[in-house]
A and B are shown apart, each in its own frame.
Chain A
């Protein structure tokens, strides 16, 4: 079984689409790696895989090795920088063209999910994050079934549930929390994504999708609230173009000053998108990195609570 060498498996779930499951998965992976853990990311969104784009490795192709398909290496462990390795597997890597539709019915999706869980040659990993499509259907049922049957109880840590603040989104995410309850998957916590947007011109934080809905929902369901994550266009630019995040003077995020020291702004103009540093290094400069480091710490403590219990 390819999952046997993995210490903790964390699912990233949401009933609603487009709330940022993949971007939360990406950032959790980067944060865990920055904290020195070895991380794997498995993308089981079969009809709309985003993870390859998120890590900027759309052209990568999977190769067959001993013991199964070899995951794509985003970066290797670097003991000097205190960084853990990061490996990724997605259906996107197996498609011949990036615009090709995967028109599959349930049974085929189920078979693919099972294959992804059993045939990927993961090395020793501290954490395996599983990014999921929206909903509570074939992929989720198969994931839950397979994981509950084949993993040790201490391996399947639980689920991080992602929502956005508005009622239309939480209405669907409540269903996902009930799904976890019914299937016996522990909820590690709720992340409220897209909670506010800081205007780059006046630094006023605008509540585009209102605010606080995730926290209310977490309290209602008696699960841990992991925190609010605002929209940061610099993060989107980092994903889309690989540009290192830079902030003008006076930028504050969650009450903390987050401007780039003067001088380095000018340096970057020349470098632009050619900056060849690793994604994980550039992410360290993103205003969301400290937020996610807090969220990650909470997730880790939650996971370790479970395995020690």
Chain B
């Protein structure tokens, strides 16, 4: 018999329904008919009688998280909460998050917030040029860092004593910080809250989804690069969204074409041998928001924390990004011309 992982639909549903429940520390292995140390009947089921773990299981906290209503109240003034997801790392989640934020913020009447849930590799502060800022704490809560008059952000980077410190944390600790970002940060009235995520389908994604369940997530934007190695992981992320009930607002294909700065020859560096993002979007039945070419200047703008839109408003990448923003605005039922004003 070949070993296979039991990734049964029930198991996935169970994780999604109780993403944060922790198995209590047991003093003995679970007996054969254990109802599960995390379950509702833990410690009270018939088979629990005589089990050395009975007391521990019975006293473990159960039921819904009491902090979720607090989060819902805190985020009551936020109109649209959008996740930026990708199963694959380095495809441009943070870059796209920052570009979306800056594009939304070109309208001075729009307030935008960016929350960086990538605990082990935060990139947002650097890309917004606020890497050396720290968080101020007041009676009302933690003040986010303002990268522009109408662009706030929050990241673990602001809390590190040294810039290069490694954050060697396991899941539960990461979940705790994400909860604080939602519960304790004074986001105020925002039109958009963009949530940048780490690659994968694990703790951070589950906790963001649970914490925001009641205050409603508008949906998720998927980012991919054209090659199959990346599409493969993005498929998994789409599968995750479907199972978790997160609406997919659309797919963006990043790093599509590279235009040689010397001879203007267009190369497909990451060849879309299987049709790229467009084909995947069609296959999965999700909207395709557009392709953004690979422009070395986007990377440089991110390294220096400058706005790529301000610096190169007429470049093809800038235009492509604006197209993505407009289509995204359309998907969430806004007037694209209002969101990104100029032509």
Interface of A with B (CB < 8 Å)?
15-19, 22, 47-48, 50, 53-54, 61-64, 69, 91, 94-96, 98-107, 109-110, 133-138, 140-141, 164, 166-169, 171-172, 174-179, 182-183, 197, 199-202, 204, 206-210, 231, 233, 236-237, 239-241
Contact = CB atoms under 8 A, between A and B. Distances in A.
B103 interface: no
A168 B123 contact: yes
Given A137-B169, A204-B262, 20 more contacts: A47-B200, A48-B236, A53-B228, A101-B243, A102-B236, A103-B201, A103-B202, A106-B172, A137-B203, A166-B299, A175-B164, A175-B165, A200-B265, A200-B267, A201-B267, A202-B260, A204-B260, A208-B299, A210-B300, A210-B303
Interface of B: 1-5, 7, 12, 15-16, 19, 23, 87-91, 94-95, 119-123, 126-127, 131, 163-172, 174, 198-203, 206, 225, 227-230, 232-233, 235-240, 243-244, 258, 260-263, 265, 267-271, 273-274, 294, 296, 299-300, 302-303
Contact of B15 (A105, A141, A237): A105
Contacts of A240: 227-229, 271, 273-274
B170 A106 contact: yes
Given A96-B7, A168-B94, A168-B303, A175 B12 contact: no
Instruction: Tell me which of B19, B228, B232, B258 has the highest count of chain A C-beta atoms within 10 A of its own C-beta.
Output: B232
Contacts of A15: 120-121, 166
A172 B123 contact: yes
Contact of B121 (A91, A175, A183): A175
Contact of B302 (A166, A182, A197): A166
Contact of A16 (B7, B121, B200, B201): B121
Q: Is the interface of B mostly helix, strand, loop or mixed?
A: loop
Contacts of B88: 17-18, 48
9 contacts: A101-B201, A104-B201, A134-B90, A135-B198, A136-B167, A140-B168, A175-B121, A206-B296, A233-B267
A179 B168 contact: yes
B272 to A, nearest CB: 9
Contacts of B238: 99
B23 A48 contact: no
A100 B236 contact: yes
B167 A175 contact: yes
Given A135-B121, A197-B269, A107 B165 contact: no
Contacts of B23: 107
A103 B262 contact: no
Contacts of A91: 5
A202 B163 CA distance: 40
Contact of A199 (B230, B263, B299): B263
A64 B90 contact: no
B203 A106 contact: yes
Given A210-B300, A239-B229, A103 B243 contact: yes
Contacts of A201: 260, 263, 265, 267
Given A48-B87, A206-B296, A98 B232 contact: yes
A63 B2 contact: yes
A182 B203 contact: no
Given A94-B5, A236-B227, A199 B260 contact: yes
Closest CB pairs A-B (n = 10): A17-B89, A18-B90, A106-B171, A201-B265, A135-B120, A47-B200, A172-B121, A99-B235, A167-B303, A174-B164
A107 B206 CA distance: 14
A47 B171 CA distance: 14
Nearest to B89: A17
Nearest to A19: B90
A134 B270 contact: no
A134 B236 CA distance: 17
Contacts of A207: 296
A240 B232 CA distance: 12
B89 A202 contact: no
B154 to A, nearest CB: 17
A172 B122 CA distance: 7
Given A168-B127, A197-B258, A137 B120 contact: yes
A233 B258 CA distance: 12
A166 B19 CA distance: 35
A107 B175 CA distance: 13
A74 B16 CA distance: 36
A137 B178 CA distance: 15
Contacts of A239: 229
Nearest to B244: A103
Contacts of A133: 89, 199-200
A135 B235 CA distance: 21
